[in-house]
Amino acid sequence: MGTNVFESPIAPLPKSRLDKLVFARLAQLNLQPVLCSDAVFVRRAYLDVLGTLPTAKEAREFIQDPDTENKRRLLIDSLLEREEFADYWAMKWGDILRIKAEFPVNLWPNAAQAYHRWVRASIIENKPYDKFARELLTASGSNFRVGPVNFYRAIQNRTPEGITRTVALTFMGSRAESWPTNRLAGMTAFFSQIGYKPTGEWKEEHVFWDPLASGNAPGNSAAGRAAIAAIVDPSNSVAQVSLAACTNTAPVEATFPDGKRVKLSPDRDPREVFADWLITPKNPWFTRSIVNRVWAWLLGRGIIHEPDDIRDDNPPCNPALLAYLEKEMVAGHFDLKSLCRLILNSQTYQLSSIPRFKTPEAEANFAGYPLRRLDAEVLIDAINKVSGSSDLYTSPIPEPFTYIPKGMPAVAIADGSISSPFLALFGRSARATGMENERNNKSTPAQWLYLLNSTEIQRKLEQGPNLQTIFNSGRKPAEMAEVLYLTILSRFPTADEVKAIEGYSGASAAKAAQAVKAAATNSAATNVVSAKRDGQSPKSTVRSPQSLVASSNTVAGKSNPVVRPGPLGSLGPRSKLSDKPVIVKRRDDWMDIAWSLINSEEFLYRH
């Protein structure tokens, strides 16, 4: 396959250790990968790092930047410092950490906000990942004030076993269902002394180390308002249970998942004992799990796949690659941004997404960048950015309803309960379990109904201020096409595409022929619309079949600018109106063109 708009003519050259490990594997499989073009790269990098499209200006400047040696690296550096990086990666963590106010984890709104704020702030300061994990595992305090305590609240089954399963999934990338039962039981002991207690504030709850199990004493701990109301006495204070009622039933011994046993000291929170074991560089799960997860976030698939299903009988496709990333992660003191930078700068990340290898091994060994539909939030943000419109996000429960400011991107929404029909339709994570596959980016017919034919999309096309500015700019068709392509697809249109766009119109053949002539003379004088014709123009909606044939001819006969009339020899009813040169397309034609670009896989997918 020759070069095209999506691929780079430069052959990939593995220089880094990472690339050498991947390309060695590809050589064994006899696969010759190809690099993506600059246009593909700029869009890909914005979407993967920031969860947003580049603006037309950003795309144009990057593509035209002559510094081919350094421009990709410099773009990566600048993207990693932008605020949207924190929004987008906090969204990813929000799925894993289950940041949701209502059913089924029921963090409650204030707590969901506090939790998200902490996650986002941690990303902004690039908190080392070992520190991030330790804080989540050991925090105590109010769910409204100490964000990370909500880790232990965002669990449907708040028993020691339920908590253990969630800890394993979150920080070990491992599903406890696949464990031997004694491993689960041994680890459960670390999470058997977590107490939850309400305060007088509605829905406030403290998470704390509770070795005496005072939380189990009758009337001393309960979640939710009803329970609080039941134990608050008329003086508005919470009844205190005497400590004598509490007994220390906590287990005295626990076993780490690697089989090592430990005696729990009565004066140390066992969560800390576990956290300290977990975050050591030698831990077989911790580093492996995070590098594999970040790799999967950027490359669509883990070196161990699925990224949260690490177990002995699910080996990595490239063990040396995984080991290398783990080593780099430890050497870099768990710096997540450095890990991102390492991956993003690799040739492996910058490969073309055009499928040329059909085997599953090619996919599993990263012979190309995989095609994936944009996440629900990223997709609606992209549509809104392109059109200049916004969506309304609300939480219908609890009253009073929650609304967030107009124009806030969906990616930045803190709370999984704040949503819209679009986000639900396009498979946003339910944030119920923290599993990666709760997010569903599969394409469904119902989604296509929305994209192809919904009032919302039509309204954005008709009224979105960004698109209106473009439609009304009075540019020549070729220039309009360029702006629309850069805005929507982040690249320049090809000559064939410009031709197809120029040829698209209800007035069909005559009009298309004049457009070709006009393009040849490049005359400003042709840039005129007959007022008479405009006045007579029907509202927009009728297309004669001939015009469709004509425009497909334009594309099919790529090197042939001669446009023939349709097979019926008639130009359709509209052509009678086109007795004067008409180059400026009607607004509806441009709307149809923008619609076509938005409804392309090129727009809807990461590629």
In the window 296-325, what residues touch another protein (CB under 8 A)? 306
**Residue 194: strand pairing partners:** 209
Taking a C-beta distance cutoff of 8 angstroms, is the pair 413, 402 a contact?
no
Residue 416: both structure tokens together: 């999984």
Interaction mask 226-265, another protein, x per CB under 8 A: ----------------------------------------
51 or 506: CB nearest another protein: 506
* Minimum CB distance to another protein, residue 111 (Å): 16
Binders in 547-566 for another protein, by CB under 8 A: 547-548, 551-552, 554-555
By the rule CB under 8 A, 570 interacts with another protein: no
246 or 425: CB nearest another protein: 425
By the rule CB under 8 A, 156 interacts with another protein: yes
Which residue stretch of 128-136, 239-247, 452-460, 579-587 sits at the interface with another protein (rule: CB under 8 A)?
Answer: 452-460
Taking a C-beta distance cutoff of 8 angstroms, is the pair 275, 137 a contact?
yes
Can you tell me the distance from the alpha carbon of 93 to that of 439, in angstroms, rounded to the nearest whole number?
12
Can you tell me the distance from the alpha carbon of 304 to that of 327, in angstroms, rounded to the nearest whole number?
16
By the rule CB under 8 A, 500 interacts with another protein: yes
* Minimum CB distance to another protein, residue 134 (Å): 25
- What is the distance of C-alpha 195 from the center of its chain? 35
Binders in 400-439 for another protein, by CB under 8 A: 421, 424-425, 427-428, 430, 432-433, 435, 437-438
Peptide bond into 9 cis (omega under 30): no
**DSSP letters for 347-373:** TTTTB--S----SHHHHHTTSSPPPEE
By the rule CB under 8 A, 445 interacts with another protein: yes
Which residue stretch of 254-262, 267-275, 444-452, 512-520 sits at the interface with another protein (rule: CB under 8 A)?
Answer: 444-452
By the rule CB under 8 A, 501 interacts with another protein: yes
169 or 329: CB nearest another protein: 169
| Size of interface with another protein, in residues (CB under 8 A) | 80
Binders in 352-381 for another protein, by CB under 8 A: 353-355, 358, 370-373
Taking a C-beta distance cutoff of 8 angstroms, is the pair 143, 205 a contact?
yes
120 or 499: CB nearest another protein: 499
Residue 417: both structure tokens together: 């309960």
Residue 540: both structure tokens together: 């927009």
What is the amino acid identity at position 445? P
Nearest alpha carbon to residue 90 among 55, 126, 130: 126
By the rule CB under 8 A, 507 interacts with another protein: no
Can you tell me the distance from the alpha carbon of 528 to that of 511, in angstroms, rounded to the nearest whole number?
13
* Minimum CB distance to another protein, residue 316 (Å): 17
By the rule CB under 8 A, 587 interacts with another protein: no
Which residue stretch of 57-65, 82-90, 137-145, 395-403 sits at the interface with another protein (rule: CB under 8 A)?
Answer: 395-403
435 or 563: CB nearest another protein: 435
Angle at 333 between CA 327 and CA 338, to 5 degrees: 80
Binders in 45-104 for another protein, by CB under 8 A: 103-104
> Out of 287, 447, 487, 514, which residue is the one contacting another protein (CB under 8 A)?
447
> Out of 61, 177, 276, 534, which residue is the one contacting another protein (CB under 8 A)?
177
Collapsing DSSP to helix, strand or coil, 405 comes out as coil
Which residue stretch of 2-10, 283-291, 311-319, 576-584 sits at the interface with another protein (rule: CB under 8 A)?
Answer: 2-10
Binders in 3-22 for another protein, by CB under 8 A: 4-6
Nearest alpha carbon to residue 33 among 371, 302, 365, 372: 365
Nearest alpha carbon to residue 198 among 226, 224, 219: 224
* Minimum CB distance to another protein, residue 156 (Å): 4
By the rule CB under 8 A, 222 interacts with another protein: no
Q: Looking at 232-371, list the stretches that DSSP marks H as alpha helix, in order from N- to C-terminal side.
A: 270-278, 286-299, 319-331, 336-344, 360-364
Instruction: Please name the helix (run of DSSP H) or strand (run of DSSP E) that holds residue 511, with its range, or none.
Output: helix 508-521
Backbone angles phi, psi at 301, to 5 degrees: -165, 140
